[in-house]
């Protein structure tokens, strides 16, 4: 190890980073996986684990699900904020939620606080950091975080506070050039591009060894448009389709999709499946199909590619699918239907694409993908900024 590398390692070991994600516990702790988590929570957890392995002191502020306070998983100490249903509407914004959050942030006593996803949490952490002279990193979770007209934030108050908080963060990380352009255009906010992290895959099965033709993985809500997958299943009765996803705040819609899926003999609806168990389904899948109307850089793409499953989708982050040959990026339902049929009936084409998928993830989203995160954190570490 040369002197420069040793200096970096020494700086990392002195750095304390706290990931603030109230939904992170199910992604971090296997015994809470049944509660479910999304892509932003998974990415925070993957980055946090990788940083802990690099020698940083890493903590998390998470929701209170009854776990012991300051419990640790994978070398990451957790601090409880508040229960998901805590407090009386209106006044709970202040107490117990804001007060409990700040108590947990104080207890974590980090140098840098790291947040993902648009919402009031961004402003709350920014204000805490400003008062207590700490540093902050915000990572974009979806394209919707970069467009005030498409924010997935219900309250007008929280949308405004998110805007204020975004301006105050020291560093913003985007996943794609598109997100970086949107941030500049809509928020006058510059950002650095970092690749999402992927977990190493297990086996990469051959075409004939796989038993699931098409896999769809997402929360069952209108934004994800699972009805388009059901339309594909109707048009391709010889293929089998598996849907993975739980109901998060859209019970009527979930029941409607469930009813339609039950009427199709070639469709299986699994419901909510813990992330760790989704890998077993992805391993068996020939294709991942994504029908969402907006995304960032979905974790499901990375999980599929790492197992050698091409992706057919309307959303191609920075044209990586088209450029690297990792599936098919389509413009409409007709093109999606044709792409799915082509890839499921041409084993040679699929096999070449499957190999490219696995090679791409290993090269671009493995251990080296952590380096830009480390560079961003170290850029905040100066004698004047960090205690």
Pair 183, 142: CB distance under 8 Å = no
Q: Which helix (H) or strand (E) holds 164?
A: helix 156-168
Average pLDDT, stretch 203-223? 93
* 65-69, 125-129, 270-274: segment of lowest average pLDDT: 270-274
d(CA 276, CA 54): 23
Q: What is the DSSP letter of 200?
A: P
Are 211 and 309 a contacting pair, CB within 8 Å? no
Per-residue pLDDT tens over the stretch 214-256 = 999 998 888 899 999 999 999 999 999 999 988 766 778 888 8
Q: Are 49 and 76 in contact (CB under 8 A)?
A: yes
Task: Compute CA 323 distance to the chain's CA centroid, rounded to the nearest angstrom.
Answer: 22
In this predicted model, which residue has the larger pLDDT, 384 or 218? 218
The predicted model scores a pTM of: 0.86
Q: Which domains does the chain have, with CATH numbers?
A: 3-197+366-379 (3.40.50.2000), 207-364 (3.40.50.2000)
pLDDT above 80 for 292: yes
* pLDDT score of 12: 63
């Amino acid at each position: 190890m040369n002197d420069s590398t040793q200096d970096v390692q020494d700086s990392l070991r002195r750095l304390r980073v706290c990931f603030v994600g109230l939904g992170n516990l199910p992604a971090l702790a296997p015994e809470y996986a049944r509660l479910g988590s999304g892509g932003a929570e998974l990415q925070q957890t993957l980055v946090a684990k990788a940083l802990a392995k690099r020698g940083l002191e890493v903590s998390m502020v998470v929701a209170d699900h009854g776990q012991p306070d300051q419990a640790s998983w994978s070398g990451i100490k957790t601090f409880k904020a508040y229960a998901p249903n805590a407090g009386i509407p209106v006044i709970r914004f202040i107490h117990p939620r804001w007060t409990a959050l700040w108590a947990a942030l104080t207890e974590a006593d980090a140098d840098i606080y790291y947040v993902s996803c648009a919402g009031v949490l961004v402003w709350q952490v920014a204000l805490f950091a400003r008062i207590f002279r700490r540093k902050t990193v915000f990572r974009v979770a979806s394209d919707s975080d970069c467009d005030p007209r498409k924010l997935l934030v219900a309250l007008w108050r929280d949308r405004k506070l998110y805007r204020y908080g975004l301006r105050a963060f020291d560093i913003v990380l985007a996943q794609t050039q598109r997100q970086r352009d949107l941030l500049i255009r809509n928020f006058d906010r510059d950002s650095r591009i970092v690749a999402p992290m992927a977990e190493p895959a297990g086996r990469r099965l051959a075409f004939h060894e796989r038993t699931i033709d098409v896999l769809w993985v997402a929360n069952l809500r209108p934004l994800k448009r699972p009805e388009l997958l059901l339309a594909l299943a109707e048009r391709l009765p010889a293929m089998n389709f598996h849907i993975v996803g739980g109901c998060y705040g859209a019970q009527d819609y979930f029941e409607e999709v469930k009813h339609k899926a039950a009427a199709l003999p070639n469709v299986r609806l699994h419901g909510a499946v813990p992330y760790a168990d989704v890998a077993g389904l992805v391993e068996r899948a020939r294709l991942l199909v994504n029908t969402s109307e907006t995304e960032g850089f979905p974790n499901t793409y990375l999980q599929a590619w790492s197992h050698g499953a091409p992706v057919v989708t309307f959303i191609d982050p920075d044209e990586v699918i088209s450029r690297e040959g990792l599936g098919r990026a389509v413009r409409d339902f007709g093109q999606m239907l044709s792409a799915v049929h082509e890839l499921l009936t041409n084993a040679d084409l699929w096999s070449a694409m499957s190999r490219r998928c696995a090679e791409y993830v290993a090269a671009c989203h493995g251990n080296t993908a952590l380096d830009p995160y480390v560079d961003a954190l170290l850029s905040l570490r100066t004698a004047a900024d960090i205690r």
